[in-house]
Amino acid sequence: MNRSKEWRAGLLFISPFLVGFTLFTIYPVAASIYYSFCDFDMVRSARPVGLANYANLLKDERFLRGLWNTAVFTAFTVPATMLTALALALLLNMKLKGQAFYRTLFFLPSIVPVVASSVLWLWLLNPDYGLLNTLLRPVLEAVNAAAGTALRPPGWLVDPDYTKAALVLMSAWGVGGSLILYLAALGDVPVQLYEAAEIDGAGAWHKARHITLPMISPVLFFTLIMGLIGTLQYFSQAWIMTPNGQPGDATLFYALYLFANAFLYLRMGYASAQAWILFVVIVAATVAVFRTTRRFVHYGGEGT
């Protein structure tokens, strides 16, 4: 084949992508930038307003609340899910019988459709009849009887002080994906490294700290970045379980308010500006994590 013919064949094969990319990425990115500088309600055509959307956002209390909620939630959820998945993976990595069975049980929650898991957790977390408080109540009553305290099970999704904790708990249930990745990484650690360390008299902690963690650090890093990007866009669970960020805007997450602005209040320009701020936040957070954690990440072949 001559070169121009090769070129034509290549473009022909990727043409579905080129059409999709132009229609659903290139044009929307350009349009979104433009809208973010416009007043646009879909009824009248977009009217440029300069930086007004961005300026107004910085004065919008609900926007700032959403930003704060999302930052707090991300700061707790990402480490909580990583630690849960890592703890389960280390347990599953022990040489015990029946690990495949346990692995399946830990993995299953992660494939439950998000709407189904959301309504299920709504019920699990019901303050009066939910499973969690049903189990918690006798424990707290025993504590109260013994210590003379007056502890009561929390209201979870109806108590603004506990809503985020409830959602973190739910995230820790669905860590099956990370679990599989960690297990694969643990399985790839060369046994010789442990044997050599044992000859040198290293204990369990020493081996975990100086062999296991460095060897699986690329995967930990990968899940950290993906978790960060995903959680900053947290939407469906909150939308279903705590509509409109209720109670008390405690779960008014960034993407929730963005969606409401776009499709409920029809403030398309305002929401577009919000989307671009989210983009900047995600890039900044990713870069910050890259900068601060890269020196802990060990890639094979670099030497220790």
Partner 1 sequence: MTRRSLAGSILGHAVLAALSFAYVLPFAWLVTTSLQPDVERSRTPPAFVPAPAAAAEAIDRAAGFHAAYEPTLVHYSKGLTRVPVLLFVRNTLLVATLSVLGTILSSSLVAYGFSILRWRGRDAIFFTMLATMMLPGQVTMIPVFLIWRQLGLVDTFAPLVVPAFLGSPFFIFLFRQFFLTIPRDLVEAARMDGAGELRIWAGLVMPLSTPAIATVGLFAFLGAWNDFLGPLIYLADQSRYTLSLGLAMFRTQYGNEYGQMMAVATLMVIPIIVLFFFAQKTFIQGIKTSGMKV
Measure the CA–CA gap between 133 and 154, rounded to whole angstroms: 8
Task: Out of 108, 139, 208, 284, point to the residue binding partner 1 (CB under 8 A).
Answer: 108
Per-residue binder mask for partner 1 (CB under 8 A), 85-104, x = binder: ---x--xx-xxx-x---x-x
Residue 56 interacts with partner 1 (CB under 8 A): yes or no: no
Measure the CA–CA gap between 258 and 279, rounded to whole angstroms: 12
Residue 11 interacts with partner 1 (CB under 8 A): yes or no: yes
Per-residue binder mask for partner 1 (CB under 8 A), 234-263, x = binder: -xx--xx--x-----------x--x---xx
Contacts of 183 (CB under 8 A, 6+ apart): 89, 92, 93, 103
Residue 290 interacts with partner 1 (CB under 8 A): yes or no: no
Q: Least separation, in Å, of the C-beta of 102 and partner 1?
A: 5
Q: Which stretch binds partner 1 (CB under 8 A): 12-20, 58-66, 68-76, 288-296?
A: 12-20
Q: Least separation, in Å, of the C-beta of 228 and partner 1?
A: 12
Task: Out of 189, 197, 222, 285, point to the residue binding partner 1 (CB under 8 A).
Answer: 222
Contacts of 1 (CB under 8 A, 6+ apart): 9
Nearer to partner 1, 197 or 229 (CB): 229
Per-residue binder mask for partner 1 (CB under 8 A), 146-175, x = binder: ---------------------------x--
Q: Least separation, in Å, of the C-beta of 303 and partner 1?
A: 25
Task: Out of 226, 285, 289, 297, point to the residue binding partner 1 (CB under 8 A).
Answer: 226
**How many Cβ atoms sit within 10 Å of the Cβ of residue 101?**
8
Contacts of 159 (CB under 8 A, 6+ apart): 127, 247
Measure the CA–CA gap between 188 and 178, rounded to whole angstroms: 15
Q: Which stretch binds partner 1 (CB under 8 A): 62-70, 113-121, 151-159, 189-197?
A: 113-121
Residue 208 interacts with partner 1 (CB under 8 A): yes or no: no
Q: Least separation, in Å, of the C-beta of 39 and partner 1?
A: 14
Residue 123 interacts with partner 1 (CB under 8 A): yes or no: yes
Residue 112 interacts with partner 1 (CB under 8 A): yes or no: yes
Q: Which residue has the tokens 């973190």?
A: 168
Q: Least separation, in Å, of the C-beta of 174 and partner 1?
A: 9
Q: Which stretch binds partner 1 (CB under 8 A): 64-72, 116-124, 147-155, 159-167?
A: 116-124
Residue 282 interacts with partner 1 (CB under 8 A): yes or no: yes
Nearer to partner 1, 110 or 293 (CB): 110
